[in-house]
Homo-oligomer: A and B are copies of this chain.
Amino acid sequence: MALLVQKFGGTSVGTPERIEAIAAKIKRYRDNGDDVVVVVSAMSGETDRLIGLARAISEAPPPREMDVLLSTGEQVTIALLSMALQKRGCPARSYTGSQVHILTDSAHCKARIQDIDGSRIQQDLQQGKVVVVAGFQGVDEQGNITTLGRGGSDTTAVALAAALKARECQIFTDVDGVYTTDPRVVPNARRLERITFEEMLEMASLGSKVLQIRSVEFAGKYNVPLRVLSSFAEGPGTLITYEDETMENALISGIAFNRDEAKITVLGVPDQPGVAHKLLGPVAAANIEVDMIVQNMAPDGATTDFTFTVHRNDYDRAIEVVRRTAGEMGAREVAGDDKIVKLSLVGVGMRSHAGIASTMFETLANEGINIRMISTSEIKISVVVDEKYLELGVRALHDAFKLEGPAAG
């Protein structure tokens, strides 16, 4: 008998029929003797409907009122799920974020959780009830309704699991776990039994959209074991924890990729201290996030070449900002390319193994794929290549590092 926190997203609760199916699933866990706290999102489509109503009235709705509006989405779901559970003879009780004191700061539409008072939930659990909590929402110290921003329900679930010292925080999604890479690109990609928080963070931030980054960070920080599993099928999913003895001793856990990148290169910048700051300061000031950064001495030895990547949507704005700064700095040229992608090998195992990088570069070279940028961290090697090589590169690397699972049958 253990305490589980289970989170179901908008697609999983998108219709009354799906809510009934989820209720049946929760009841099976309950019948197994586990205590269950459920966190749910708004029914799929509902948040967009509400945003549409707001936009019909105001182009820039005040964030406080936006939160009052959007928080109704989850409130509808908790009521319906609680009804479906009780219909099955499973005692249940719904709570809004405010009712269980999910205390946040006052940053409306992107609030951060500061504290949760679990006492009311503990009481209900002791009485054998399933507790159904609205995800994505909280309340600030003045009693104003806040929301955590889109996808915030994952964070709610992890925060509750931490506050209640749950054995696991289970995130139910439309995939049955975390894979070595996107199965749409590599059909024999393999579901991972386990993965570490650090690896998951790298995978998530590189575009594997299974989990919200913030919830993985949060889970890591409070050491809450996370499990990703399917809302619609049975199966153990993928467990995300800290590295331990029993873990598969794989060098590489997976291959992530990101199609949303664009790169900007400043050529022939006079080399002097503070180049990076001078170039990137105005970019940051324009609220553009920078991903990879690489700086190299130019062949002439007196200037430097500086390259960085941004989200493809920010490319036009970013290159305009950089052109201005580069001109002032006396740089020779600014070049850009928004037809690139980033491929990354991720794995805690690579820390203690040499040769990973050279295998990666050799594999890509054998396929005739030119590497435009390289960047490395403790558990990750990322390369930027032309967009057209995405599938070829991922498949070649997946093969080279023997990540494939049993042939699909």
**A64: which B residues are within 8 A, CB to CB?**
93
Q: Is the CB of A54 within 8 A of B68?
A: no
Q: A86 → chain B, closest Cβ, in Å?
A: 5
CB within 8 A of A80: which of B53, B82, B94?
B53
Number of interface residues of A (CB under 8 A): 36
**A82: which B residues are within 8 A, CB to CB?**
62, 65, 68
Q: A310 → chain B, closest Cβ, in Å?
A: 33
Q: A383 → chain B, closest Cβ, in Å?
A: 47
Q: Is the CB of A79 within 8 A of B58?
A: no
A56 within 8 A of B: yes
A20 within 8 A of B: yes
A76 to chain B: closest residue by CB: B72
Of residues 99 to 143 in A, which have CB atoms within 8 Å of B's CB atoms? Answer: 99, 143
Mark each residue of chain A from 80 to 92: 1 if its CB lies under 8 Å from any CB of chain B, else 0. Answer: 1011101100000
Of residues 46 to 61 in A, which have CB atoms within 8 Å of B's CB atoms? Answer: 50, 53-54, 56-58, 61
Q: Is the CB of A87 within 8 A of B57?
A: yes
Alpha-carbon distance A20/B61, docked complex (angstroms): 13
Q: Most B CB atoms within 10 A — which of A62, A78, A87, A98?
A: A62
Q: A93 → chain B, closest Cβ, in Å?
A: 8
Copies of this chain assembled into the complex: 2
**A86: which B residues are within 8 A, CB to CB?**
58, 62, 65
Q: Most B CB atoms within 10 A — which of A83, A87, A96?
A: A83
A381 within 8 A of B: no
**A98: which B residues are within 8 A, CB to CB?**
98
CB within 8 A of A62: which of B57, B76, B83, B96?
B83
Q: Is the CB of A54 within 8 A of B66?
A: no
Q: Is the CB of B80 within 8 A of A57?
A: yes
A93 to chain B: closest residue by CB: B64
Q: Is the CB of B72 within 8 A of A68?
A: no
**A57: which B residues are within 8 A, CB to CB?**
16, 19-20, 80, 83-84, 87
A69 within 8 A of B: yes
A238 within 8 A of B: no
24 contacts between A and B (CB under 8 A): A16-B56, A50-B76, A53-B76, A53-B80, A54-B83, A57-B83, A57-B87, A58-B83, A58-B87, A62-B82, A65-B79, A65-B82, A66-B79, A68-B79, A68-B94, A68-B96, A69-B80, A72-B72, A72-B75, A72-B76, A75-B75, A96-B145, A99-B143, A99-B144
Contacts from A to B (Cβ < 8 Å): 16, 19-20, 50, 53-54, 56-58, 61-62, 64-66, 68-69, 71-72, 75-76, 78-80, 82-84, 86-87, 93-94, 96, 98-99, 143-145
